[in-house]
Chains A and B, each alone.
Chain A
Amino acid sequence: MVTPTRKKDRIDKLAEAGSDAGVSLAASAWRTLRRSPVFLTGAVIIGLFVLVSLLSPWLAPHDPSDPMLIDQVIKARNQIPAVQDGHPLGGDLQGRDFFSRLLIGSQQTLIVGVLATLIGLAGGLTLGTLAGALGGWVDSVVMRLVDVMLSLPSLLLAFSISAMFARPNQYTVIVAVAVVQIPVFARLLRGSMLAQRSSDHVLAATALGVKPGAIVFRHMLPNSLGPVIVQSTLVLATAIIDAAALSFLGLGNPDDRIPEWGQMLGDVQNVFDTHPQLAFWPAGCIIVVALGFTLMGETLREALDPKSRR
């Protein structure tokens, strides 16, 4: 059945890319990546990002929720505390140390990105594996549902899911960003599974009497991992950007004691023209990290694509 959106075709194509990938493809991919300056740039950015976010509680000079510079905000009438000793980036509108907020923000940003990707992956993995491994009516039902989800522009779907919650918080943001990714992962997995169901190694395993469960988990899933890894890397970038968009629409986490970059950026929209630095720092961080994930994802995709193995 042809379905009303072609988004799925793109996903299916990605699924095919690694469907008959063996160890040799993985090995050759790694050989290409190790020498690719683009991939290494992305990897260094992400390495630094993860390192900083893990160490941020010790790196941050101050408590990110402590309005220690509030006197200066009150005295200067809606001015933000300037750069000064001990506060390399000054303070924000509530008189909190901006540098500490950026550092701690990296941790929350990483958590949002990773959790959203993991939830999307887990949901998509379950649905896609069910559909691809069982086929038949399970496949039809799951895929029709996935198609309906894909026929809504993804960010719009994330907005709608967030609007369901009366009191948004950190977790509703993660859920909204994650659910949008479920149909993408599901299609990806299913395409890859379907391609393998008729492949020789699955046929051989079936002929040898391997149990269906073992075939799915030991023979089919591992072979589908390439495109899933590529997609996960790209989703990490979109998750962080989408979370910022949610905050911008007032659908994000209103509690900013523990900051997150998207929230920091979305929350300063009303003072953008008077205090642009409050937006530029978190925006800069988001852009660099999103670029890092994208560089890794795109080079991975190219390296895993059998067509580009020349």
Chain B
Amino acid sequence: MLRYTIRRLIQLVGVVLVLSLLLFAWLRALPGGPVSALLGERSTPESREALTKQLGLDQPIFVQYFKFLGRALSGDFGVSTGVQPGDAALDIFLQRFPATLELSFLAIVIAIAVGIPLGYMAAKRRGGWFDNISVGGSLLGVAVPVFFLAYVLKDVLSSALGLPTEGRQDAIDATRVTGFFVLDGVITQEWDAALNALEHLILPAIALATIPFAVVFRITRAAVLDVLDEDFVRTAESKGLTAPTIRRRHVLRNAMLPVVTTIGLQTGALLAGAVLTEKVFSFAGVGQALAIGFERRDYPVLLLLIIMATIVYVVVNLLVDLSYALIDPRIRTR
């Protein structure tokens, strides 16, 4: 187990290194090179030359790459040119990451809390109207562009339910401990602030949850269908176990492995979906920074955020793989 974890972590370092090389090349391949990209349209020959010197672009390319790597390792990813001009890219990430984490966490909780029970019920009623409607709904969920759904939720549902739509800016200002607004409210026992923060999260979280929900639902349904056919379920039934026991101990536990894998993979969809959803709701998270970064071509911020997104995605999937051991004792003893 430990050896496996270490090997996976080494591979993560490898992936990040290759990715940094690719992103470095990406920055290089930009029209006009990084100087134009960094200075934007207001560049003068003098400012270009100064920045070329300052960035060390007059040096050989591999020297540049290692310098870039060295700076990156010490946390210096450059200064934002478009998202929050003048701020260090790393600060922008650190400021905004808790917001996105909070939002994604709620979204994945919704996807799991709705997707798994619904998937189980659909499998038990295979071919019935409940099954057909929910399978149709899940296929529809994947076909709807995320940002369109977010707009519909924002314009239609928010007024009907009286929920806030504009990010976290107008959230009740509570004492900040962690940067997670809901958690902060709970820690400091400012319950109104916690509830208010949750209200700000709910609509974007629903929009963000659709695709993971649809996928979790379908995988659960398929996995439960597979397990229901197994001999051990029939054995459990014939030896007279109660339905809830069979469901908990035999069916769900065996069906969970593919579902957990899927949940890990869906964090990728969450990261990309957060870019779109946070833009619609003006939610001041990492996704919004990426959206603005792409619009205004803020390359230092984009570079850092893309690397971070990859690390998060890979680490989550590593954790998912490790969690197999908790679910499946056969893997633990191997």
Which A residues are closer than 8 A to B by beta carbons?
1-7, 9-10, 144, 147-148, 151-156, 159-160, 162-166, 237, 241, 244-245, 248-251, 262, 265-266, 269, 272-273, 276, 279, 283, 286-288, 290-291, 294-295, 298
Q: What A residues does B123 contact at CB under 8 A?
A: none
Of B146, B275, B320, the residue contacting A159 (CB under 8 A) is B275
Of A7, A147, A237, the residue contacting B268 (CB under 8 A) is A7
Q: What B residues does A273 contact at CB under 8 A?
A: 155
Given the known interface contacts A148-B19, A272-B155, A298-B139, the answer about A4 and B11 at a Cβ–Cβ threshold of 8 Å is yes
Q: How far is the CB of B216 from chain A (nearest CB, A)?
A: 14
Q: A154 to B151, Cβ gap below 8 A?
A: no
Given the known interface contacts A4-B12, A147-B15, A159-B294, the answer about A272 and B151 at a Cβ–Cβ threshold of 8 Å is yes
| A7: nearest chain-B partner, CB-CB | B265
Q: What B residues does A298 contact at CB under 8 A?
A: 139
Q: How far is the CB of A204 from chain B (nearest CB, A)?
A: 34
Q: What A residues does B187 contact at CB under 8 A?
A: none
**When A and B form their complex, what is the total count of cross-chain residue pairs whose Cβ atoms lie within 8 Å?**
140
Secondary structure call for the B interface: helix
Among A6, A147, A266, find the residue whose CB has the most chain B CB atoms closer than 10 A: A6
Q: What A residues does B145 contact at CB under 8 A?
A: 241, 244-245, 248, 262, 265, 283, 286-287
Q: A151 to B313, Cβ gap below 8 A?
A: yes
Which B residues are closer than 8 A to A by beta carbons?
4, 7-8, 11-12, 15, 18-19, 22, 26, 29-32, 139-140, 142-148, 151, 155, 261, 264-265, 267-269, 271-273, 275-276, 279-280, 290-291, 294-295, 297, 302, 306, 309-310, 313-314, 317-318, 320-321
Q: B143 to A287, Cβ gap below 8 A?
A: yes
Q: A249 to B291, Cβ gap below 8 A?
A: yes
Q: What B residues does A272 contact at CB under 8 A?
A: 151, 155
Q: B15 to A151, Cβ gap below 8 A?
A: yes
The CA of A3 and the CA of B271, in the complex, are separated in Å by 20
Q: What B residues does A2 contact at CB under 8 A?
A: 4, 7-8, 11
